[in-house]
């Protein structure tokens, strides 16, 4: 069987005999369908999750370095996209419900889970997790522009900032709004205002890299987090944005000019500034530009 089509399972179980029973049951159920990696400690499992891609985790609740439901949160935090199925010696329904509330997709009782039950639980856990990821993705997106919304931006940006600090990389946060947006709405109507917002979203997508996080965080407000931006310069980024806005204004058949003002904040690796703090700093920079009599507004002559 093609290794890419195999279900990759991380089995965290300190009892080698129980681990062998699980592996054999799955192999007998569907030969070659499952690739099982067995570790005996939670910490080993967390390390493997960081090194390899898995489709599902089977977690024993009694480990040398983790007891009870304590192992679920770190696994979910380490790989939130990978479902966890708890395997327990207890047939307590209350314990199973607690495990699900703690973040597990399902729970199985040792000795009662044969190959058929294991395979079905794994299949359903993966399917439910994929559905949750789709729904979560929809909840993080702005319906009008297709960009991330504020929740999506903050969630992803916090993760990217942690990685940037860990790896000593620079980052820039751009906070921008559409100039004269209220006038566009008042004069041309909200449908035309929506069209202007979509146009700005398209400009931002084209002006920044696919690895950058681009979002609509308010009515006419947009934010971008650019980690390890080439020649990490606020002026270069603002100039690039201005050029793209001008080019779009020339191409688009609009009855008005689309322009934005952008404030930019740089990540200081010496400070533990979070996304909210960087956004506030970039927002202050934006309004400083606004106060400067319309100077430095992207897309303006």
Residues 45, 32: Cα–Cα separation, whole Å: 22
Beta-bridge partner residues of 261: 177
Residues 263, 221: Cα–Cα separation, whole Å: 11
Q: Which of 58, 17, 56, 12 is nearest to 38 (CA)?
A: 12
Residue from 55, 179, 220, 283 carrying the catalytic annotation: 220
Q: For strand 62-63 and strand 213-216, is the pairing parallel, antiparallel, or unpaired?
A: unpaired
Residues 137, 266: Cα–Cα separation, whole Å: 28
268 is catalytic: no
Residues 50, 88: Cα–Cα separation, whole Å: 25
Residue 293 C-alpha from the chain's centroid:
38
Residues 45, 150: Cα–Cα separation, whole Å: 33
Catalytic center residues: 220
């Amino acid at each position: 069987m093609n290794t890419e089509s195999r279900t990759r399972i991380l089995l965290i179980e300190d009892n080698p005999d129980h681990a062998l029973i699980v592996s054999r049951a799955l192999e007998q159920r569907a030969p070659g369908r499952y690739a099982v990696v067995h570790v005996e400690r939670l910490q080993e499992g967390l390390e493997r999750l960081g090194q390899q891609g898995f489709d599902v985790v089977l977690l024993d609740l009694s480990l040398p370095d983790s007891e009870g439901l304590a192992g679920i949160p770190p696994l979910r935090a380490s790989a939130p996209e990978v479902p966890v199925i708890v395997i327990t010696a207890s047939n307590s329904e209350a314990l199973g419900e607690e495990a699900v509330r703690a973040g597990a997709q399902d729970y199985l009782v040792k000795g009662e889970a044969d190959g058929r039950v294991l395979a079905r639980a794994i299949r359903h856990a993966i399917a439910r997790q994929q559905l949750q990821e789709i729904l979560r993705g929809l909840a993080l997106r702005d319906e009008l522009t297709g960009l991330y919304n504020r929740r999506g931006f903050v969630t992803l940006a916090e993760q990217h900032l942690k990685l940037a600090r860990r790896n000593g990389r620079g980052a820039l946060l751009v906070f921008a709004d559409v100039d004269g947006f209220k006038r566009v709405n008042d004069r041309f109507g909200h449908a035309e205002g929506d069209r202007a917002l979509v146009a700005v979203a398209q400009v931002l997508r084209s002006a920044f890299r696919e690895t950058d996080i681009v979002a609509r965080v308010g009515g006419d407000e947009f934010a971008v987090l650019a980690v390890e931006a080439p020649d990490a310069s606020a002026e270069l980024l603002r100039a690039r944005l201005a050029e793209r806005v001008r080019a779009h204004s020339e191409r688009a058949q609009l009855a008005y000019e689309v322009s934005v003002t952008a404030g930019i904040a740089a990540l200081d690796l010496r400070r533990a500034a979070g996304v909210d703090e960087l956004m506030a700093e970039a927002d202050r920079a934006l309004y400083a530009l606004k106060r400067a009599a319309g100077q430095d507004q992207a897309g303006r002559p």
